[in-house]
Chains A and B, each alone.
Chain A
Amino acid sequence: GAVVSQHPSRVICKSGTSVKIECRSLDFQATTMFWYRQFPKKSLMLMATSNEGSKATYEQGVEKDKFLINHASLTLSTLTVTSAHPEDSSFYICSARDTKSLINRINEQFFGPGTRLTVL
């Protein structure tokens, strides 16, 4: 149980195009999902918190118009990198918080396998 998938696993695109990454919780409901970015040899950096049915909360320094987040259902959040540039090339990881874990206060988050974005 508690599986989170991401699609695609890797994508290569031309500069100026937009890329959509999907994050799905496969066997649990997630009112909250998180989007992270990871550079080589570095730890995960939180970009935004995605809440089902409401606007995402972005971390300081993350452009909301650049990284569009939609959390339309309890099992799906999408991150769209708009007008991608080479500096957007990175490893993007999502995580989903099991709604039930709020009850036991563990705040369990399950991570997806990541999406490698390369912008040429």
Chain B
Amino acid sequence: KNQVEQSPQSLIILEGKNCTLQCNYTVSPFSNLRWYKQDTGRGPVSLTIMTFSENTKSNGRYTATLDADTKQSSLHITASQLSDSASYICVVSASGGKLIFGQGTELSVKP
């Protein structure tokens, strides 16, 4: 069964600190993995997309890693800001185009 699991479910950190979110997946056949940021009451916004051959990809203070062997991905946020408070969703695209969504990690950055 195709599944994407994220941890932790929620996370509270202080402004300026770093954090890492985890994503494990069992999706086959695998096409690519994306991380999205979703602010409350808004649609998801793409942060990174990685294909099978990519190990890491950065977008500003966001750095995603992918280990296709262990089927794990992480999203590292550096020097967090209050505006980073959002839900972060890991999404795996199976070949054929179907997206498998994780349940999201709710990040709260406190001053």
Which residues of B, 38-57, contact A by the 8 Å Cβ criterion?
A: 41-46, 49, 51
Question: Are B32 and A111 in contact, with the CB atoms below 8 A?
Answer: no
Q: Which of B58-66, B74-82, B98-106 lies at the interface?
A: B98-106
CB of A106 within 8 Å of the partner chain: yes
Give bound CA distance, A41 to B36, whole Å. Answer: 15
Question: Are A44 and B103 in contact, with the CB atoms below 8 A?
Answer: no
Question: Are A43 and B103 in contact, with the CB atoms below 8 A?
Answer: yes
Residues of chain B touching chain A, judged by Cβ–Cβ distance below 8 Å, are 31-32, 36, 41-46, 49, 51, 89, 93, 97, 99, 101-104, 106
Question: Are A116 and B41 in contact, with the CB atoms below 8 A?
Answer: yes
Give bound CA distance, A110 to B31, whole Å. Answer: 17
Question: Are A114 and B97 in contact, with the CB atoms below 8 A?
Answer: no
A-B contact pairs, 18 of them (CB 8 A): A32-B97, A34-B99, A41-B106, A43-B101, A43-B104, A44-B101, A46-B99, A91-B41, A93-B43, A107-B32, A107-B97, A110-B46, A111-B43, A111-B44, A111-B45, A112-B43, A113-B42, A114-B43
Instruction: Please name all residues of chain A whose beta carbon is closer than 8 Å to the beta carbon of B51 when the two chains form the complex.
Output: 106
Question: Are A114 and B41 in contact, with the CB atoms below 8 A?
Answer: yes
Known: A43-B89, A106-B49, A107-B97. A114 touches B42 (CB 8 A): yes
Instruction: Please name all residues of chain A whose beta carbon is closer than 8 Å to the beta carbon of B41 when the two chains form the complex.
Output: 91, 114, 116
